[in-house]
Amino acid sequence: MTTFDDRESAFENKFAHDEELRFKAVSRRDRLIGLWAAEKLGKTGADADAYARDVVSTDLKKPGDEDVYDKLRADLPADVPDAEIRKQMLDLLARAVKEIETQ
d(CA 99, CA 103): 6
pTM (2 d.p.): 0.84
Q: What is the pLDDT of residues 34-87, one digit of tens each?
A: 999 999 999 999 999 999 999 999 987 777 889 999 999 999 999 999 999 999
CA 22 to chain centroid: 9
